[in-house]
Amino acid sequence: MVDAMDLPFEDPSFDRVFALESVIHMERPRALREMARVLVPGGRVALTDLTAPEGVFVDEGKLSSLVELRHYPRLLADAGFDGHRVRDITPHTARTLCLVAENLGIHREEFERIHQVNLEDLVKSTASSVVGAADVGCLIAVAYTKAR
């Protein structure tokens, strides 16, 4: 049986892998290993991810998949990547969260109808999922696969 996390491509198939705004929805170590598997030796991955505030407890089952920025280099190395660069881009993304919140307010009825969810309940459940949720950050990482 094929798992959704298993990429349907042969070893090594690609020079580049991009994972923008998607890793947050995956089991990070496994997803990174799959990305490394399908890359040719010296292939490059570029990804973005949300990060947990340093030292903040994250409730299991909610935003528990967030990791601290300082742990990302180890995740990449363990998955088979070398030459990684991890950069905190939180200051460049903070305005986006404000715009999302503003637009959700403007289009509340449409959002609730399409997604079959009460926006107030959604905000309450998200806000209570992590202490210091306002401090959730964002990173961009670039890494190269090791020679095989």
Indicate which residues carry an active-site annotation: 21
Give Cα separations from 16 to 2, 13, 76, 89 (angstroms). Answer: 23, 9, 15, 21
Closest by CA to 97, choosing from 136, 144, 56, is 136
What does DSSP assign to residue 10? P
- Which amino acid does the sequence have at 16? R
Q: How far apart are CA 50 and CA 62, in angstroms?
A: 13
Query: Where does residue 122 rank: exposed (0-12), middle (13-18), buried (19+ CB within 10 A)?
Result: middle
110: enclosing H helix or E strand: helix 108-115
Distance of CA 31 to the CA centre of its chain: 10
